[in-house]
Amino acid sequence: MIQFVDLKAQHDSLQPALSETILRVIDQSAFIQGTDVGQFEASFAAICGVKHCVSCGNGTDALYIALRALGAGPGDEVITTSHSWISTSETITQTGAQVIFSDTDSFFTIDPDSIEKKITQRTVGVVAVHLYGQPADLDRISSLCERFGLWLIEDCAQAHLATWRGRAVGTFGDAAAFSFYPGKNLGAMGDAGCVVTRRDDIARFAMLFARHGGKGNHEIEGICSRMDTLQAAILNLKLPHLANWNRRRNAAAVRYHSLLSDVPEVVLPTVRDGADHAFHLYVVRARDRDRLRAYLTARGIPTGVHYSRPLPLLAAYARLGHKPEDFPVSSAHAAQVLSLPMHPFLTTEQQCAIASAIREFYSGEV
Ligand SMILES: *Cc1c(COP(=O)(O)O)cnc(C)c1O
């Protein structure tokens, strides 16, 4: 059985320690703000090489908290990518700011030229997404932000421990958001997320804001967004394996490349020069994508489409009145992208079967 993401294999590999950890948390019964939470925050900050990590309920909250910490609000414009999961843009709207979409480049990440064209007097910041695990063009994005006095938030939900010029993503912007949704490269057994930052002021605000603005004489009104002790304990157990799991994802990507590089109907993902890709997803651009996908599904090969529409063309953004021509690159990509099974426990045999089925589809095509 080929799985798109094989969480059971991951969890079986961690037994019996995983079950013991869960029983230990039940025994201690400090379900909110137990010692595992602070321990995870310290370990995750250390592994990323950043000063602060503030845990929270999920990756969407992490983005919202980071945006609020940077002061995004009514009257502001925040520029982000047209190709991502909706958390990236909906959290901008939640602050009261206006979301401004940019087109993407051949690596599926935000195009710096497109950012520059969208900057106005009202622009306050940029949210860049390291989509599929590939670092965005951080050199050019960082220098644009510097030149125009904009802050930068990195959406690292798909890119745990990916690096750019040897430095982990999440350390380049003013703040970064991570998700520990179960299927992410580092996943909890439910929802969890965090904000990381080198800035003391942002860490302090995030800590206050995510915990009701403090205790006793609450300094501000906040929200309730916390990482459960149980999730923190599970993440503490998994964190030492993350680098190795990412290596296994990269090895699987290399195998896909050698199995599929001579199939002309499929454009394989490339890694940006200077980047270390986390391969959260292995996304090809396939001719006749929807029929290929149906063919693979019928043969027991699960695939995904991330994502079928550029964000600005979703019904949720009809008010903006965008057309596909406004985002030529991401509109073309949305019609072609196909995510093949990708996880650290994928076997060579499974990948050979997937590649054979793809070849069969195109050779039988009329
Ligand atoms: C998963 C994801 C999020 C949101 O994370 P949740 O933990 O599900 O809230 C945000 N941005 C991107 C790009 C994601 O893939």
Please check the confidence at residue 366 and state whether its pLDDT lies above 60: no
At 120-165, the pLDDT tens digits run: 999 999 999 999 999 999 999 999 999 999 999 999 999 999 999 9
The chain-wide mean pLDDT, for the chain, equals 97
Nearest CA to ligand 1 atom 6: 59
Q: How far is the CA of 261 from the centre of ligand 1 (A)?
A: 30
Separation between Cα atoms, residue 348 and residue 256, nearest integer Å: 9
Q: Is 254 exposed, middle or buried (0-12, 13-18, 19+ CB in 10 A)?
A: exposed
307 lines ligand 1 (CB under 6 A): no
Query: What number is the average pLDDT over the span 185-190?
Result: 98
Separation between Cα atoms, residue 169 and residue 47, nearest integer Å: 11
Atom of ligand 1 lying closest to residue 88 CA: 11
Q: How far is the CA of 181 from the centre of ligand 1 (A)?
A: 7
pLDDT band at 365 (very low <50, low <70, confident <90, very high): low
The strand pair at 123-129 and 151-155 is best described as parallel
Q: How far is the CA of 203 from the centre of ligand 1 (A)?
A: 20
70 three-class SS: coil
Nearest CA to ligand 1 atom 1: 157
Atom of ligand 1 lying closest to residue 60 CA: 9
pLDDT value at residue 364: 84
Query: Phi and psi for 285 in degrees, rounded to 5?
Result: -110, 115
Q: How far is the CA of 186 from the centre of ligand 1 (A)?
A: 12
181 lines ligand 1 (CB under 6 A): yes
179 lines ligand 1 (CB under 6 A): yes
Query: Phi and psi for 5 in degrees, rounded to 5?
Result: -135, 125
Atom of ligand 1 lying closest to residue 63 CA: 10
Atom of ligand 1 lying closest to residue 193 CA: 7
- Probe target for ligand 1 pocket from 83, 87, 306, with the most ligand atoms within 8 Å of CB: 87
Query: What number is the average pLDDT over the span 69-96?
Result: 98
- Probe target for ligand 1 pocket from 55, 60, 64, with the most ligand atoms within 8 Å of CB: 60
pLDDT value at residue 139: 97
Nearest CA to ligand 1 atom 5: 59
341 lines ligand 1 (CB under 6 A): no
At 215-241, the pLDDT tens digits run: 999 999 999 999 999 999 999 999 999
**What percent of the chain is predicted at pLDDT more than 70?**
99
Q: How far is the CA of 84 from the centre of ligand 1 (A)?
A: 9
- For 167-211, the DSSP string reads EETTSSSSEEEEE--TTSSS--SS--EEEEES-HHHHHHHHHHTB
pLDDT value at residue 144: 98
Q: How far is the CA of 80 from the centre of ligand 1 (A)?
A: 14
pTM over 0.95? The answer is yes
pLDDT value at residue 225: 98
Atom of ligand 1 lying closest to residue 87 CA: 10
Count other Cβ atoms within 10 Å, centred on residue 22. 15
Structure tokens at 80: 């982000």
At 240-284, the pLDDT tens digits run: 999 999 999 999 999 999 999 999 999 999 999 999 999 999 999
